[in-house]
Amino acid sequence: MTPHRVKVIIDAYGADARRWPADERDAASGLIARDHDLSVYLQQASQLDGLLAAAPTPHVPAGLAQVIMANAESPRTAPGGGSFGARLRVFLGRFWPDQSLWQPAMGLAASLAIGVWVGTLDIIPVTDLSTFTETASVLPTDDDGLLILYGDGSNLQEWVYDG
In the chain, what are the domain boundaries?
3-54, 65-119, 122-162
Task: Give the percent of the chain with pLDDT over 90.
Answer: 34
Adjacent-strand bridge partners of 158: 149
How do beta strands 136-140 and 145-151 pair?
A: antiparallel
pLDDT of residue 132: 52
Q: How far apart are the first and last CA of the chain?
A: 59
| pLDDT digits 0-9 by tens, 45-91 | 999 999 989 999 888 888 888 888 887 765 555 455 567 777 777 77
Q: Which portions of the chain are predicted below pLDDT 50?
A: 78, 153-163
What pLDDT does 135 receive? 56
Q: What is the pLDDT of residue 107?
A: 86
In 3-state terms, what secondary structure has residue 150? strand
